Amino acid sequence: MNKSGLEWTEESSKAVFRCPVFSIRESRCRSPDNEIGAFTVLDCPDWAIIVPVIDNPKGKKFVMVRQWRHGSREISLEFPGGVFEPGEDAAQAAARELREETAYRAGKIQTIGEFSPNPAIMSNRVHFFLAEELYNTGKQDLDKDEYVEVELVNIREVFRGLGRPPFIHALMGTAFALYLQKTIADSNDFPF
């Protein structure tokens, strides 16, 4: 039996489906009780989500993107992000996605967290970054199938809207929580 009594050991793995954005494999694993089970795993590339914060005369705002999401069949207002390109590290992917989707560059980008988006079935990681000292280059560089509107959104509006349209993307809640953790968790302003 393994050290924790909870770990499974992969005995074999075979691909059952591939498409441009993910592949599916069957993973045959041995349980802590030595039983074999078959599990479906989605192998997706890692991706980055960037929380861009811009200061303006009316206070801090997030730079967000509004776009259609095919899975939910609705418009989502979310932080920019996307998958890593070959050879990129997480910070490079974050900076590139910020520039491509919003036309903003950041003078300062820092890691604020990393999660498994759905560890029950997905093998990848999502990396979160805070982008500050933003300046607008004036030109987006969208993929041919990307239709994105850039918006400056009040931080309080995002907080109040999470979980309701158009703030429907679950990982935006995680990104917002990491932003709070980074910016106010150690301050006297933290409410709990």
Per-residue pLDDT tens digits for 70-97 = 999 999 999 999 999 999 999 999 999 9
Output the average pLDDT for the chain: 93
Tokens of 174: 């995680």
| Predicted confidence (pLDDT) at residue 190 exceeds the cutoff of 90 | no
pLDDT of residue 1: 43
Region 107-112: mean pLDDT is: 97
What does pTM read for this prediction?
0.91
| Predicted confidence (pLDDT) at residue 40 exceeds the cutoff of 90 | yes
Q: Is 59 left (phi over 0), alpha (psi -120 to 50) or beta?
A: left
Region 158-184: mean pLDDT is: 95
pLDDT of residue 175: 97
Residue whose structure tokens are 């560059």: 105
DSSP 157-191: HHHHHTTSTT---HHHHHHHHHHHHHHTTTSTT--
| 111 in Cβ contact with 125 (< 8 Å) | no
Cα angle, residue 57 at apex, residues 184 and 140 outer, rounded to 5°: 90
CATH superfamily placement of domain 47-183: Nucleoside Triphosphate Pyrophosphohydrolase (3.90.79.10)
